[in-house]
Amino acid sequence: MILDRYIGKNILLISLLALFSLVAIFSFFSLVDQLDDTGQGNYGVLEAIQYVLLTIPRLSYELFPIATVIGSMAALGMLANSSELAVIRTSGVSRIQLAVSLIKTGLIFVVISMLIGEVIAPISEQAAQQKRSVALTKQIALKTKNGFWSRDGDSYINIRKILPGDRVEEIYIYDFDEDHQLISSIRAKHAEYDQDRWILHDIMKTEISEQQVTSNHYETAEWEALLNPEVIEMVTIKPRYLSIHGLINYINYLKANNQSSKLYVQAFWSKIVNPFAIIAMILLAICVVKCEARPVGLGQRVFIGALIGVSFHLVNQVTGHLGIVYGIPSFISVTLPTILVLSYIAYSLVKEY
């Protein structure tokens, strides 16, 4: 128990410091990138800073595995350099017992990571994208389970299906007068964006007045609105930023409407495997850090940890995308890197006996 607390405290402090440093670096580059958009619409420096601050929870969640491997490498490295690790081993503590201590610390990281990834990040990311979109385009836009919503003057627009190539399906347009009374509604089966305007197809238009309600059908019609595909893309949250609950609901919605859910299934399995990836990154330190006679510098430990973490992240991205391209089930392509790392760790620990 004392050993668990001692090792855990060191790993926790260094990992959080590494996470803070990584988030600061990535946030700085994100701010530099956002400053290129200042001057468009109402998007200024303050709006750019606000956007970057709101994306910090998402960044923290994504960088957690990298921070944990840096923290565990540095913490165990410091123990090895001061000969404390050698004393721990010679006192009868096996590598497996040491691994159990690291797993207990890893569970703390898992809880923190899930709290950020499932509760805080989805809300803050939604707010970040929406505020940025409104500032850049001066349009109110929102992406919900029931599709994309936007306001264009006195008109409210709902688009149920967003397809590649600037195509949308199931478009609903509601027009209101100055007294906020509904005066007309339009339902179009599909539309495409061409030369700064939308072309609606298979349209049913209903006009409402005090005397009567009339409905007319049109094959095609032009719809000139401020809304454009860039606005839709800006407020559409990337699948990997949604919570597990949000992903499950959206996957079921897409399947019910015969739409592709591959990206969302991939994101779902990425969320499921993330806690195991954090544990794997912490345990890797046992396989890498040895009780060398010649001390290894802390900077070298941090560099190796960062290299391992970034490489693992890139391999995860590559295998996930290859799975989509070649039709490999997501639970295989997404979990494979973590399974391989955990298998290597298990082999390394068992080999001691």
pTM of the shown model = 0.80
Helix axes 336-350, 262-288, angle to 10 degrees: 20
What would the mean pLDDT of 266-275 be, rounded to a whole number? 94
pLDDT digits (tens, 9 = 90+) for 297-318: 778 888 989 999 999 999 999 9
CB burial string 11-43: b at 16+ within 10 A, e below: bbebbeebbeebbeebbeebeeebeebeeebeb
pLDDT digits (tens, 9 = 90+) for 189-209: 988 888 778 899 999 999 998
pLDDT digits (tens, 9 = 90+) for 143-186: 776 778 888 888 899 988 876 567 788 999 999 988 889 999 99
The number of beta carbons lying within 10 Å of the beta carbon of residue 331 is 15
The number of beta carbons lying within 10 Å of the beta carbon of residue 238 is 11
**Closest to 185 (Cα-Cα) out of 163, 156, 160, 210:** 156
- Annotated domain spans of the chain: 2-138+237-350, 144-226
Q: Residue 226: its pLDDT value, please? A: 64
